[in-house]
Amino acid sequence: MKRLLSIELQKLWLNRSSRILIISYFVILSFIAFMASIEIPLFGQKIKLADQGIFNFPFIWHFNSYIAVLLKGFLGIVIVSMMANEYTYGTLKQNLIDGLSKKEFIASKILTVALFAAASTAFIFVMTLILGYCHSSFTEASIVFSDLHFIVAYFFNLLGFFSLCLFAGILIKRSAFALGFIIVLFIVEWLLWLLMRFGIGLDEETTWNIFQFFPMESFSELLVMPWERLSAIRTLNTIAGGESLSDNYSIQWYTFAIAITWTAVFMYLSYKTLKKRDL
């Protein structure tokens, strides 16, 4: 395992573009900390984000995880490029000539994907603890760690998306076209949603119940938007006479099960595609 990871990390670090993207990703993630000082003009008043409870435990786990997952495209590009470069520079064929089996080769890619997801999750976990203890009004252990499932969801969101990127890179071979494949998949999913909702005429609840089984949507379902939990939005909702907003943001077990299943499918397809391909 260490040998396989060492081979992949060396390839990535020696590639200037990949190195810049990886560093940029973690630097940009750290910018979440600066949101504490941001003020937003709203109805003639300036609202400081830190005063709206976004850095309060346990909400901060949800907020930071959601913001961080929006940036996963940076590492997605790295993973697609990592695979495409194997074909471009002939390193895949050379690795196989040097005695690395196709199974070991795919294992090295999957380990790298898992490492990226784990490293990003650890980074967000530590940063969230620091920000929370600096700005939160609640620091009791029972409150601090009550929403850790969002960090777990963040990890599986990344792992699933990175597995899709790996499969796209193996299937398409070219970075630009592989990224295009992922974008097209996203568009196709939403076109199918529109077809089910307005073409077939399914009701909204049934449509969403089916839609959650689609690959990219299954990853997104792990981390839904947390904006309704902000105190400012709750206040505006009350003033407008709207209905009370739900406090239930727990993630259902089947949401994890669907995402993990698609992750396993993409990893398996990556192996089968490479195994059948004549290099």
Q: What percent of the chain has pLDDT over 90?
A: 52
Tell me which residue range forms the domain holding 89.
2-276
State mean pLDDT over 234-261: 69
State the chain's mean pLDDT as an integer. 87
H helices within the chain, ranges in order? 2-14, 16-30, 59-69, 73-88, 91-97, 102-135, 141-144, 149-172, 175-194, 204-211, 215-220, 231-239, 253-276
What's the CA gap between 250 and 254, in Å, rounded?
Answer: 12
Percentage of the chain exceeding pLDDT 70: 87
Q: Inform me whether the pLDDT recorded for 90 exceeds 50.
A: yes
Tell me, what's the pLDDT at 9? 87
Give the count of domains, the chain. Answer: 1
Top-confidence residue, 250 or 217: 217
